[in-house]
Amino acid sequence: MTTSIKLLLNERYIALVGVLNRELILLDRLIFKLSEANMLTRAEESRFLGEIFDEVDGVQEDLGSLEVARSMLVGDITAALGLANDTLTLSQLIAYAPDLAVDPLEGLMRRLVDATEEIQALREQGSRAVIEKLDQINNAMDRVQPAVFGQDGYNSNGYMTAPAMSGSRFDYSA
């Protein structure tokens, strides 16, 4: 392997460490936002969820951009090594990394896997919390008197029906 290829590989591996580190920072932010959303859902404080999910969308867009950069770097590395682009996974590339890059890459890979598992657990917790809240709403609706829906309020299609003429406290004509 020529010196110029070694320098190119060193450069690309250093850039790969930087990209993976940035991905980890974004995944940590995603974990924080999903944790916030779960806490707010459980506390029945839903008014800020829209803002949190806007931030989650922004983090996911940033992660998408970093995935493109990571893919390009992996392509450069595999090409410099004389391998086909689709033959090695990111973790398999560590075996070809310069000695100084091996420990940071292995550490980042472990932390990325842990963060991904934590995100999956948070997603499942969030889904359960939302389902629990929907069940509570559904149970409350089942307890509502039939006179409220279908007779004097809303019909079965959800359209408002004529209210019963039983004198309303909002009737100011008297």
Residue 143 confidence (pLDDT) above 60: yes
Instruction: Between 47 and 14, name the one with better pLDDT.
Output: 14
Instruction: Between 112 and 165, name the one with better pLDDT.
Output: 112
Residue 96 confidence (pLDDT) above 80: yes
Report the pLDDT value the prediction gives residue 108, as an integer from 0 to 100: 94
Q: Is the dihedral of CA 62, 63, 66, 67 positive or negative?
A: negative
53-70: average pLDDT? 91
Report the pLDDT value the prediction gives residue 161, as an integer from 0 to 100: 58
Residue 150 confidence (pLDDT) above 70: no
CATH architecture of 3-143: Up-down Bundle (1.20)
Distance CA 120, CA 55 (A): 18
Report the pLDDT value the prediction gives residue 107, as an integer from 0 to 100: 94
Instruction: For residue 44, give the 3-state DSSP assignment.
Output: coil
DSSP string for residues in 156-173: TTSPBPPPP-S--TT---
Q: Is the dihedral of CA 126, 127, 132, 133 positive or negative?
A: positive
Residue 67 confidence (pLDDT) above 80: yes
Q: Residue 111 burial by CB count (10 A; 0-12/13-18/19+): exposed, middle or buried?
A: middle
Residue 69 confidence (pLDDT) above 50: yes
Helices (DSSP H) in 43-98: which residue ranges? 49-81, 90-93
All structural domains of the chain with their residue ranges = 3-143
Secondary element (H or E) of residue 10: helix 3-42
150-157: average pLDDT? 57
Residues β-bridged to residue 149: 154
Instruction: For residue 154, give the 3-state DSSP assignment.
Output: strand
Distance CA 89, CA 82 (A): 15
pTM: 0.72
Report the pLDDT value the prediction gives residue 168, as an integer from 0 to 100: 47
30-52: average pLDDT? 86
- Could you say which DSSP state residue 149 is in? B
Report the pLDDT value the prediction gives residue 82, as an integer from 0 to 100: 85
Q: Which two tokens stand for residue 149?
A: 């829906």
Phi and psi, residue 57, nearest 5°: -60, -40
Residue 39 has a CB neighbour count (10 Å cut-off) of: 11
| pLDDT grade for 14, boundaries at 50, 70 and 90 | very high
Residue 114 confidence (pLDDT) above 90: yes
